[in-house]
Amino acid sequence: MTGSPAPHLDGLPHYFAAGIGAGPANLSLAALFRSGTSESIALFDRQPAAGWHEGLLHSGVRMQTSWMKDLVSVVDPTHELSFLNYLVRNGRLFSLINAQFDVIPRREYMRYLAWAADHMDDVHYGHEVDVVTFEAGRFVVHCDEKPVATARHLVVGVGTQPARLPGLATLPAERSFVADDLHRRLPQMTEGDKAVPVAVIGGGQTGCECVLRLLDEGFTDIRWYDRSTWFHTIDDSPIANDVYRPSHVQFLQGLSRPTRRRLVEEMQHTGIALTPGAMRTLYQANYDRMLVTGEFPVTLLPGREVSGGALVDGEVALDVVSAEKREQHRVGYAVVAIGRVNTPVPLAPELVAQIDVDTDGEVLVGDDYAVTWKGMAENGIYALNRSMYVNGITDNNLTLLPVRAATVLNSMLGREVYTVSDDLSPVRWG
């Protein structure tokens, strides 16, 4: 008789699927697992408890998507983990309706995620996945340098992290930091600092929210930089929103890879920009403050790229490049809000070596979000929020989470557990 092929794995919990990360992407998948199958899924997240972009939860910030686009409803509106059910179970329904929000507070969405996670069996917080290996025909999840679970399929839902400006790398951390750290830095600043110029670099929604937070805190000289000619807002027209539906994703999936990439590039302004109304809120707050003090506390500086900076005479000296000039701007602090980059995926090098990449070195992800790799016939690696140029701009936001989760689930189980249909559309994409 032969022994176990991997005795060090004996006794570990074995799941049908394991997910790295318990953000909305993997939570949506786990929710559909729960209602659509009898198979098990476990999620591992490094956060100590349920949370969602907590560094960016300034007072009053709102979602960019409708509350109907929750973890489950667009695929399964009768699911017990719908946002509506969350409101009813927590006694908030009438108050929320009567508050007449156009879009709900981000904090409410975070609470909803925490509530949903709490209703699932195997969401493990405080578990940073160091590495995933593939041994004896299964994925092995390691945390704290120890194997903690094995699974037949793996789902990567590690999301994004703030991008940093390499040119500011030499500045002390307390003088230049990313937007996600602003809430932690503010209590360390003095009343005197509020009159010191503060640069916010990056003209997107996060930059705007940082400017508003600084205004709220009483800062009187906020300088807001963006490299584009003006601060762009999201195109929220009906036809722009038609890009965020399954019929458009299916249209894209029928095109060649280069064409998909080109179309997705052209669509960025439908999703990655300021929420309509955000600029009005900022203009009005700036005007209100000017009425009191006689000066605008916020100066908008479009068409300026901040390329670097250094500490000079105790001040942050920023190198600023515009269409025809190169200048140095002196500020006290620099808040960096230039977007987000993919969080590294902790796969063992031997596993990475078995994954196919295209000619640009990008991992090949299919229409079912499965990564092309040697063992894919039996063991799937699914990548969420990693294939925008293949599966459309919806891949990196919340609008079609349940549709993507249903697609992954159907692929893993090799049958149609959930039907995704979107046939009644007035638009014929071409």
Ligand X SMILES: Cc1cc2nc3c(=O)[nH]c(=O)nc-3n(C[C@H](O)[C@H](O)[C@H](O)COP(=O)(O)OP(=O)(O)OC[C@H]3O[C@@H](n4cnc5c(N)ncnc54)[C@H](O)[C@@H]3O)c2cc1C
Q: Which residue has the tokens 């600029």?
A: 279
User: Measured between alpha carbons, how far is 225 from 374 in angstroms, rounded to an integer?
Assistant: 46
Minimal distance, residue 84 CB to ligand X, in Å: 18
Per CB under 6 A, contacts with ligand X among 337-356 are 343, 346
Contact between 407 and ligand X by CB under 6 A: the answer reads: no
Look at the alpha carbons of 75, 77, 81, 83 in this order and tell me if their dihedral is positive or negative.
Answer: positive
Contact between 128 and ligand X by CB under 6 A: the answer reads: yes
Binding-site residue total for ligand X (CB under 6 A)? 30
Contact between 176 and ligand X by CB under 6 A: the answer reads: no
User: Measured between alpha carbons, how far is 273 from 269 in angstroms, rounded to an integer?
Assistant: 6
Contact between 19 and ligand X by CB under 6 A: the answer reads: no
Contact between 392 and ligand X by CB under 6 A: the answer reads: no
Annotate 204-236 with b (16+ C-beta within 10 A) or e (fewer). bbbbbbbbbbbbeeebbbbbbbbbeeebbbbbe
Minimal distance, residue 267 CB to ligand X, in Å: 14
Stretch that binds ligand X, among 23-31, 74-82, 211-219, 305-313 (CB under 6 A): 23-31
Q: How far is CA 191 from CA 18, 194, 196, 219, in A?
A: 48, 6, 10, 9
CA 212-213-214 angle, 5° bins: 90
Whichever of 63 and 154 has its CB closer to ligand X, that residue is 63
Strands 146-156 and 138-143: antiparallel
Whichever of 197 and 202 has its CB closer to ligand X, that residue is 202
Contact between 204 and ligand X by CB under 6 A: the answer reads: no
Task: Tell me if residue 222 falls in helix, strand or coil.
Answer: strand
Contact between 159 and ligand X by CB under 6 A: the answer reads: yes
Minimal distance, residue 106 CB to ligand X, in Å: 6
Whichever of 35 and 397 has its CB closer to ligand X, that residue is 397
Q: What is the dihedral of CA 299, 303, 304, 307, to 10 degrees?
A: 150
Provide the token pair at 390: 């293949």
Contact between 207 and ligand X by CB under 6 A: the answer reads: no
Contact by Cβ (8 Å): 56, 208: no
Contact between 397 and ligand X by CB under 6 A: the answer reads: yes
Minimal distance, residue 68 CB to ligand X, in Å: 12
Minimal distance, residue 135 CB to ligand X, in Å: 19
Stretch that binds ligand X, among 18-26, 78-86, 321-329, 375-383 (CB under 6 A): 18-26
First to last CA, the chain: 62
Task: Tell me if residue 163 falls in helix, strand or coil.
Answer: coil
Among 72, 86, 112, 157, binds ligand X (CB under 6 A): 157
Whichever of 17 and 331 has its CB closer to ligand X, that residue is 17
DSSP string, 279-339: HHHHHHHHHHHHHHHSS-SEEEEET-EEEEEEEETTEEEEEEE-SS-EEEEEESEEEE---
Q: Per-residue x/- marks for ligand X, 261-300, CB under 6 A? A: ----------------------------------------
Stretch that binds ligand X, among 70-78, 152-160, 193-201, 289-297 (CB under 6 A): 152-160
* 333 Cβ neighbours under 8 A, 6+ residues apart: 175, 176, 177, 185, 189, 193, 196, 198, 199, 316
Minimal distance, residue 343 CB to ligand X, in Å: 5
User: Measured between alpha carbons, how far is 168 from 173 in angstroms, rounded to an integer?
Assistant: 10
Contact between 41 and ligand X by CB under 6 A: the answer reads: no
Among 116, 384, 393, 405, binds ligand X (CB under 6 A): 384
User: Measured between alpha carbons, how far is 351 from 375 in angstroms, rounded to an integer?
Assistant: 10
Contact between 30 and ligand X by CB under 6 A: the answer reads: no
Minimal distance, residue 141 CB to ligand X, in Å: 9
Per CB under 6 A, contacts with ligand X among 46-85 are 46-47, 52-53, 56, 63-65
**Maximal CA-CA distance, the chain:** 88
Minimal distance, residue 350 CB to ligand X, in Å: 18
Contact between 129 and ligand X by CB under 6 A: the answer reads: yes
Provide the token pair at 62: 């709102």
Contact between 45 and ligand X by CB under 6 A: the answer reads: yes
Among 40, 82, 387, 399, binds ligand X (CB under 6 A): 399
Chain residues that interact with ligand X, rule: CB under 6 A:
20-26, 44-47, 52-53, 56, 63-65, 128-129, 157-160, 343, 346, 384-385, 397-399
